[in-house]
Amino acid sequence: MTPRAKHLSLFGMMALLLIMVGTLQSWNVALTILNLCLISAIMTLGVNIQWGYAGLFNAGVMGFTALGGLAAIVISVPPVPEAWQAGGSRTMLGLCFGGISIGIAVVTWLKTANWGKKRYWLTGAVVIAGYAVMRVTVDPGIAAIEAVEPAKTGFLGGFGLPILFSWLVGGAFAAGAAWVVGKIALGLRADYLAIATLGISEIIIYFLKNEDWLTRGVKNVNGLPRPVPYEIDLQGAVWVQTWAERLGIPVIEASSIIVKLSYAALFLSVLLVVFWLSETALKSPWGRMMRAIRDNEIAAS
């Protein structure tokens, strides 16, 4: 069996299994599985660029996934005026202090290359002092934000834009984090690279789970906008009622199927675009460089 025939047979078997689930159990369940498969395929293409093309093991994928969730909140959720009024300005000021401290620490590290051990002490002192100033400024603001209707909000909210924009912003967040991770970890190899990427991923996840003022942490944000219609809106549409009557299924089930098909179309569109970009990158000079790293790292360097 040729590789092409093997791949087609595997896809055919998966399609047959989904049809069996839809026929024998529920089309809602079958479409849910299909959508999860499409999401997993998109994530797999991203991981394959590093694991497959370059042969570099990365255990930090879920950290980038968490940043995608952060983007959905920051972009689509409307701002919470009460939270911004309570402590938004102070929190932003403290974060600015933190960013400035990082910049000063980096400059200090670069400018003191010939200072020996004093370099470490001076850079460490800058980091500790900057962190202390940031916490003194930020902590009261965060406490005030999280005290604003903590059962319902307790966070700053976002920009209130269409949620589809968050897909692009999530990619930008992940790219920025990947650049930082690459600067830190790509000098490592094998198990050490896996441990470093896993550790950085856990730091990102831990931060997002515990900073309630930004994402509500583990409390979750309810009522996120959707890029597809709501089931309750579809149930009142005449064409949905007619379609459900022709198929002999309840209107509620028909509306749910339409929503899942809409999501499947969106996910499939993204998958095809990412696949095309991945294949184009593979054939580019950058892709040849990635394969060279995988096949002969010493020669590639």
- What mean pLDDT, rounded, does the chain reach? 87
Share of the chain above pLDDT 70, in %: 97
Q: Which tokens hold the place of 199?
A: 């550790």
Q: pLDDT digits over 137-169, tens only?
A: 999 999 999 998 888 888 998 898 998 899 899
CA distance 134 to 153: 24
CA distance 12 to 25: 19
Q: pLDDT digits over 227-263, tens only?
A: 888 888 888 888 888 888 888 888 999 999 999 999 9
pLDDT number for residue 2:
83
CA distance 268 to 35: 9
**Cβ pair 144, 151 in contact under 8 A:** no
**Cβ pair 290, 53 in contact under 8 A:** yes
Q: What are the domain boundaries of the chain? A: 27-56+228-301
The torsion angle over the Cα atoms of residues 41, 47, 52 and 58, rounded to 10 degrees, is -150
Q: pLDDT digits over 181-191, tens only?
A: 888 777 777 67
pLDDT number for residue 97:
92
Q: Please report how the helices 190-210 and 165-185 are oriented relative to each other, as an axis angle in degrees rounded to 10.
A: 130
At 279, the pLDDT band (50, 70, 90 cuts) reads: confident
Is residue 297 over pLDDT 70?
no
At 272, the pLDDT band (50, 70, 90 cuts) reads: very high
Q: Is 80 helix (H, G, I), strand (E, B) or coil?
A: coil
Q: pLDDT digits over 44-73, tens only?
A: 888 888 887 777 787 888 888 899 989 999
pLDDT number for residue 56:
77
**Cβ pair 214, 156 in contact under 8 A:** yes
At 299, the pLDDT band (50, 70, 90 cuts) reads: low
Q: How many CB atoms lie under 10 A from the CB of residue 278?
A: 16
pLDDT number for residue 300:
57
CA distance 164 to 225: 9
**Cβ pair 67, 204 in contact under 8 A:** yes
Residues 6+ apart with CB under 8 A from 61: 43, 46, 47, 201
CA distance 258 to 271: 20
At 29, the pLDDT band (50, 70, 90 cuts) reads: very high
**Cβ pair 24, 16 in contact under 8 A:** no
CA distance 252 to 240: 10
